[in-house]
């Protein structure tokens, strides 16, 4: 088992890889305060997001959606997406294939 570092990704936001394999990666994104931002971006990986805790407003392409504890959704490859934290919490993201840029 590997201990992965906690990496700051923005004001009040950190990322920590929880597990990885060349075909799959599990990552925790922790948002420490209301208003913290997961910047708009896109990537070739398919992403599944599970809301462990907190509330978030996601932009997924042209759609906006508010999500809370136990909500989950899939983000297709290359779809622009980002979020704003409404209530502090943690997102658990799975990526396929693995995000080598996170290692």
DSSP letter for 33, please. Answer: S
- Of 93, 89, 16, the closest CA to residue 56 belongs to 89
Reported pTM? 0.96
- Of 19, 11, 13, the closest CA to residue 95 belongs to 19
Strands 46-60, 72-75: pairing kind: antiparallel
Residue-range domains of the chain with CATH: 6-102 (2.60.120.10)
Question: Has residue 98 got a pLDDT over 60?
Answer: yes
The pLDDT tens digits for 8-59 are 999 999 999 999 999 999 999 999 999 999 999 999 999 999 999 999 999 9
């Amino acid at each position: 088992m590997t201990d992965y570092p906690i990496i700051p990704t923005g004001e009040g936001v950190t990322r920590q890889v929880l597990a990885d394999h060349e075909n799959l990666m599990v990552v925790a994104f922790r948002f420490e305060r209301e208003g913290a931002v997961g910047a708009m971006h896109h990537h070739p990986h398919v992403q599944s997001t599970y809301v462990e805790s907190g509330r978030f407003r996601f932009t997924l392409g042209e759609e906006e959606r508010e999500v809370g504890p136990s909500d989950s959704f899939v983000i297709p490859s290359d779809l622009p997406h980002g979020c704003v934290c409404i209530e502090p919490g943690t997102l658990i993201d799975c990526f396929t294939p693995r995000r080598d840029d996170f290692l």
